[in-house]
């Protein structure tokens, strides 16, 4: 018995050990896979995206950049880059920063610096059109006096305004025939089509209104426009750097021949650079009493550019508002028409009610004479016909009397 038990139980022991080893191995593999999955999620959370770099000479290249690199090179906070994230839908915005302009206009999402444009790569046609058009203008229009950032911003505004205007014209061409058809024949199909067009109109109006408000906000604040003059700020920073180098060399030469210079008289280049930037922004704010004429000349091209496209987008918005007014007028006309039909139905119902009343009177007379009682009317051969004629004349007179009363009270149209 012992031998048989040993023979029976001995083969199961390696299997148990193997199963334990397999479970431990699978557990370790699961831990490794879990760790790799977490690291993969981390990589995807901080992954790079495809961008198109367009230089001031008109050449472009497609690169992959992560947020940290862009934030470091362009001196941008992370909240500005969220505006460019295609996973989220943000309203249109134009932000002027220290070294870049963040542009989010419809499908055009880019970062404009003094030397290059970092455009988010996308399959949308507006992105390809912006890239090709900007490269063509930079290569062909070398003698343009406008700074690089203003030319890039101008193209973004131009494409955005053109796209919105084209959408408005397309909607206008589609909605006018539907409204005219609805005014002539009211049906469920036409009402559904108008409802769908009205929803599209409201969404498009909000988009155009946001672009208009953004341009108007920039025009009202000279400080924001001064922040967007990147070429001028870069030129001033370079000038301050050169002057700082000259002052450093001069102070070094003087200290070698005379006593050491006092630390209070030496000014660092960083402080001079900060004063230069503050002079650009603070001297052009609306509340400042002293406005620099040189700074006003620098922001004048940008201001004229914004005014031009403000007129364009304002005209587009007026077209949408007039279209909305036409829809409201059509709805009022339909309500008046339905109210008129409802009044006609009420008048017809009133006529039917009066006719029913007259018929009830005639029926009551017939019911009275149909009772089983003796009367001298039936003694005459023409008595029954006489009762019918008198009753009919009385009912007709009652009906016309009711109609005259309703017309007198202006319940029925004359």
Count of Cβ atoms closer than 10 Å to residue 81 Cβ: 18
Residue 376: inside a domain:
yes
Number of H helices, E strands in the chain: 12, 6
Reported as type and span, the H/E element at residue 50 is strand 49-55
**What pLDDT is recorded for position 294?**
56
Confidence of residue 110 (pLDDT cuts 50, 70, 90): very high
pLDDT at 250 over 60: no
**What pLDDT is recorded for position 278?**
47
Find the range with the poorest average confidence among 140-149, 199-208, 290-299. Answer: 290-299
**What pLDDT is recorded for position 243?**
57
Residue 117: inside a domain:
no
Residue 303: inside a domain:
no
Mean pLDDT of 178-183: 90
Tokens 């030496």 locate to: 266
Measured CA to CA, the distance from residue 127 to residue 116 in angstroms comes to: 16
Count of Cβ atoms closer than 10 Å to residue 304 Cβ: 9
Q: Sheet with 60-65: list strands edge to edge.
A: 60-65, 49-55, 116-120, 108-112, 101-105, 93-96
Residue 331: inside a domain:
no
Q: Phi and psi of 130, rounded to 5°?
A: -65, -45
Residue 47: inside a domain:
no
**What pLDDT is recorded for position 288?**
41
**What pLDDT is recorded for position 246?**
56
Residue 402: inside a domain:
yes
Measured CA to CA, the distance from residue 180 to residue 167 in angstroms comes to: 20
pLDDT tens, position by position, 20-61: 344 444 444 444 444 444 344 344 445 688 999 999 888 999
Strand positions, DSSP E, 56-179: 60-65, 93-96, 101-105, 108-112, 116-120
Q: Mean pLDDT highest for which of 2-11, 172-181, 226-235, 261-270?
A: 172-181
Count up the domains in the chain and report the number. 1
Choose between 275 and 401: higher pLDDT: 401
Which residue range is the domain that position 357 belongs to?
A: 338-409
Q: Is the pTM of this model over 0.75?
A: no
**What pLDDT is recorded for position 222?**
86
pLDDT at 11 over 60: no
Measured CA to CA, the distance from residue 298 to residue 284 in angstroms comes to: 11
**What pLDDT is recorded for position 88?**
77
Confidence of residue 175 (pLDDT cuts 50, 70, 90): very high
Q: What is the mean pLDDT of the chain?
A: 77
Measured CA to CA, the distance from residue 229 to residue 217 in angstroms comes to: 16
Residue 389: inside a domain:
yes
State whether residue 120 is helix, strand or coil.
Answer: strand
Mean pLDDT of 309-330: 94
Structure tokens given for 6: 């040993």
**What pLDDT is recorded for position 247?**
60
For 258-382, where are the alpha helices, taking DSSP H only?
269-282, 293-369
pLDDT tens, position by position, 260-291: 443 333 344 444 444 444 444 444 444 443 44
**What pLDDT is recorded for position 158?**
94
**What pLDDT is recorded for position 374?**
73
For 93, half-sphere exposure in the C-beta direction (CA atoms, 13 angstrom radius) is 16
Residue 370: inside a domain:
yes
- Residue/partner pairs of 323-328 with CB below 8 Å, 24 or more apart: 323/168, 323/171, 323/172, 323/175, 323/201, 324/201, 324/205, 326/176, 326/179, 327/175, 327/179, 327/194, 327/197, 327/198, 327/201
**What pLDDT is recorded for position 13?**
35
């Amino acid at each position: 018995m012992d031998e048989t038990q040993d023979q029976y139980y001995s083969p199961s022991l390696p299997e148990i050990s193997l199963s334990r080893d397999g479970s431990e191995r699978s557990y370790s593999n699961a831990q490794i896979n879990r760790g790799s999955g977490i690291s993969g999620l981390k990589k995807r959370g901080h992954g790079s995206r495809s961008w198109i770099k367009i230089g001031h000479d008109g050449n472009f290249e497609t690169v992959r950049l992560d947020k940290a690199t862009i934030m470091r090179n362009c001196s941008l906070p992370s909240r500005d880059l969220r505006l460019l994230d295609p996973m989220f839908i943000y309203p249109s915005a134009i932000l002027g920063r220290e070294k870049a302009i963040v542009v989010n206009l419809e499908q055009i999402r880019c970062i404009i610096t003094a030397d290059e444009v970092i455009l988010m790569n996308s399959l949308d046609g507006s992105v390809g059109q912006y890239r090709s058009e900007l490269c063509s203008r930079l290569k062909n229009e070398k003698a343009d006096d406008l700074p690089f950032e203003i030319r890039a911003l101008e193209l973004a505004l131009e494409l955005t305004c053109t796209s919105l205007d084209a959408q408005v014209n397309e909607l206008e061409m589609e909605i006018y025939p539907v409204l005219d058809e609805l005014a002539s024949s009211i049906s469920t199909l036409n009402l559904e089509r108008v409802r769908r067009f009205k929803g599209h109109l409201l969404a498009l109006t909000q988009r155009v209104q946001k672009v208009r408000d953004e341009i108007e906000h920039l025009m009202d604040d000279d400080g924001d426009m001064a922040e967007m003059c990147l070429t001028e700020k870069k030129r001033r920073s370079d000038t301050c750097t050169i002057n700082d180098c000259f002052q450093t060399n001069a102070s070094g030469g003087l200290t070698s021949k005379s006593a050491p210079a006092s630390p209070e008289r030496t000014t660092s280049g960083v402080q001079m650079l900060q004063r230069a930037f503050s002079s650009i922004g603070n001297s052009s704010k609306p509340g400042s009493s002293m406005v620099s004429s040189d700074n006003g000349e620098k922001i004048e091209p940008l201001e004229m550019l914004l005014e031009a496209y403000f007129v364009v987008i304002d005209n587009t918005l007026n077209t949408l508002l007039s279209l909305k007014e036409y829809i409201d007028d059509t709805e009022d006309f339909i309500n008046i028409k339905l109210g008129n039909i409802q009044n006609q139905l009420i008048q017809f119902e009133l006529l039917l009610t009066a006719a029913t009343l007259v018929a009830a009177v005639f029926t009551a007379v017939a019911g009275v004479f149909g009772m089983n009682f003796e009367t001298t009317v039936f003694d005459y051969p023409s008595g029954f016909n006489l009762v019918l004629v008198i009753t009919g004349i009385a009912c007709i007179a009652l009906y016309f009397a009711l109609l005259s009363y309703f017309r007198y009270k202006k319940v029925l149209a004359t």
